[in-house]
Every structure is written in structure tokens, then in C-alpha cells.
Amino acid sequence: MSTPSSAPAASGPVAIIGAGALGTTLARALVANGYAVEAVLSRTAASAEALADRVGAPVADTAYAALPKTVRWVFVCVPDDAIPGVAGALAAVQHPWADTTVAHTSGAVPAQALAPLDAQGAALLGFHPLQTFPEGASPATLSDIVVGLDGDSAAVEAGAAVARRLGARPVRLAAADKARYHAAAALASNGLVALMAAVEAILPLPRTDSAPPPREWVAPLLRQTLHNVLHHGPHGALSGPVARGDEGTIRKHLEVLQDECPDQYPVYTALSAELVRVAVGSGALSEAQGERLAASVRHADDAPEPST
């Protein structure tokens, strides 16, 4: 990366590119913590204007050329595949890039995804809030979370100061580790969504109008399990038939899933195999027990094909 004319500052006027859920939440949090958002640029004028009105930004536009010369921080809050294109379009804009930090909010790609701006002298930064952002999320969603940072040292230092000002906890990442880091984050969030979809598909509910939805059945179990994991770690929180080495129960699970819920069979076998590894690592099972249980759940290839 090229070296900016001066070290990146942790403050200064901000532009937000992308007015989706993350861009909106980040813009609101920045304003709530004393930053001035001077511009919102988005694919549609309506979304740019809506967010600009919300955060008091004087510029709302669809054109990158509308970027104010006074902006010193640009946050690119767009899908990962769109980042290089945005960077290329920004690099064509006349701007004091050597005094500007450009940060994208992707967790999977490194700061160098913004490479076209490197030649213009901008400081490049990956600034990834490790959080999920639904529509209408509060600015407080950014508080007390990890923000993963990568880029050159000066940009990371400035990004860390921004993260702390938002109430978050900055963590420096190696560029080579970002895909792995983001895979873990996706499993923690979206993997839970997929797991709950499988739970709802498997759970046999009474066929009455008064029956509660499946998530209400398992909500107390979910809350207690999450509490156990957060306080004791996966090894300390493990319970159930795998931890007990209950091969008979596991066989019953496999049989009923093969017969009645074939789409969820591979989910069960994959997660059970991982639970066996955790159980052996925690000492709940011996190596020999683990090998027997692993063999019991290693039948995904024998399962019927999921329906389409």
C-alpha cells in the first residue's frame, strides 16, 4: 500500500456508500458518537435521501462525483462482490485521497479489495462489525461487539479508535485469515438460523390451532444452552446422547430422520460427528467410545437424497 501524506485521523467528516441495514446503522452510530456524516451515496436516490435526512447529511446522491472534498472517512457498506467496482469508481473521482481513509465493511475480503484507491494514496481499511444487522437495527447494536480490522498499521490504528468511540472492541486480523474468520462468523449467525429451520422441520407439533410455534417449544432450551456455552465453552456445555455415549438413542434418531425427515438427516449426522469430536476433547468420551459413535453417525452417504 502507498503511504498517505499524513497518518489517518480517527475523526473527520464521513461519507457512507450504501444505505442498506449496515450502512444505515453505522451512519446513525457515527452521528450518535459525534461524527459528522456529510454524504450518503447509494444506488437509488430515494435510499440515499432517506438516510441523509435521518443523519443530517447535506449530500445525498447516486453519483460518486458528488463526494464532498471535505470528507476524510469513506465507509463502503456494499456487498463483497461490489467492492472492487465501487473502489474503481471512487478512484476516478478528484478527491484529496492522500488525506482520506476508505474502509469497507466486509468480513471476508481484505482491505486490498479497495486496491484502485491505493494508487491514489488513500489509506485502505477493512472495518468489519462482527454483528448481524436487521432492518431498523439500533445504533446500540454496534456497542460492545468486536470490529475486525485489517490494512496498514496506521489505518488499523485509526480504525481501532473509531471502533472504540462507537463502544466496540477492535481486533486486528491478518488479511490471509479473513475468509476463515468470516466463515466462523457466518456459522455463529446464519448457521444458527439453518439449525433452527431444521429443528422446526423435525419437531412433530400437535395439529391444533392452539399449539405454540416450534421456536417457543425450544426457546428455554436455546437460552440455557447459549448461557452454558458463553460461560463454560463448548466442552463444558455439551450434554445429550453424544456426551453420554448413548448409541441406541442415536440410532433411533438416525432411523426416524431417514424415514420421516430425510432433508434433515445430513444436518444431524454432520453436527453429531462434530459433537463426538467435542465430547472426546472434553473427556466425556474415551477415544474408543468416540470411534464407535463416529461410525454410528457416519452414514450420510447412505441417506436418501433430500427432496427438491
Q: 101 and 46, same structural domain?
A: yes
Q: Which residues face 40 on adjacent strands?
A: 16, 60
User: Of 9 and 273, which is predicted with more confidence?
Assistant: 273
CA end-to-end span of the chain: 48
Residue 306 has pLDDT above 60, yes or no: no
User: What CA–CA distance (Å, rounded) separates 240 from 216?
Assistant: 20
Q: 27 and 160, same structural domain?
A: yes
Q: 141 and 28, same structural domain?
A: yes
Q: Is residue 117 situated within a structural domain?
A: yes
Residue 49 has pLDDT above 90, yes or no: yes
DSSP-H helix ranges across 33-152: 45-55, 83-91
Q: Is residue 4 situated within a structural domain?
A: no
CATH code assigned at 115: 3.40.50.720
The tens digit of pLDDT for each residue in 102-134 reads 999 999 999 999 999 999 999 999 999 999 999
pLDDT attached to residue 297: 85
> What's the whole-number mean pLDDT along residues 248-277?
94
Query: Residue 300 — very low, low, confident or very high, per pLDDT cuts 50/70/90?
Result: very low
User: What CA–CA distance (Å, rounded) separates 101 from 271?
Assistant: 42
Query: Residue 5 — very low, low, confident or very high, per pLDDT cuts 50/70/90?
Result: very low
Q: Which three cell numbers stand for residue 1?
A: 500500500
User: What CA–CA distance (Å, rounded) separates 135 from 52?
Assistant: 16
User: What CA–CA distance (Å, rounded) separates 229 from 302?
Assistant: 32
Residue 261 has pLDDT above 80, yes or no: yes
Is the pTM higher than 0.85? yes
Structural domain range at position 171 = 14-175
What is the distance, to the nearest Å, from the Cα of residue 255 to the centroid of all Cα atoms in its chain? Answer: 35
Q: 158 and 50, same structural domain?
A: yes
Given a contact cutoff of 8 angstroms between Cβ atoms, the answer to whether 111 and 104 are in contact is yes
The tens digit of pLDDT for each residue in 172-195 reads 999 999 999 999 999 999 999 999
User: How many domains does one find in the chain?
Assistant: 2
Q: 28 and 165, same structural domain?
A: yes
| Residue that terminates a domain, selected from 126, 157, 175 | 175
Query: Residue 214 — very low, low, confident or very high, per pLDDT cuts 50/70/90?
Result: confident
Q: 167 and 185, same structural domain?
A: no
Query: Residue 305 — very low, low, confident or very high, per pLDDT cuts 50/70/90?
Result: low
> What's the whole-number mean pLDDT along residues 9-32?
94
| Residue that terminates a domain, selected from 128, 160, 175 | 175
Q: Residue holding cell 452454558?
A: 228
The tens digit of pLDDT for each residue in 141-166 reads 999 999 999 999 999 999 999 999 99
Residue 206 has pLDDT above 80, yes or no: no
pLDDT attached to residue 207: 64
User: Of 87 and 3, which is predicted with more confidence?
Assistant: 87
Q: Is residue 7 situated within a structural domain?
A: no
Q: Is residue 126 situated within a structural domain?
A: yes
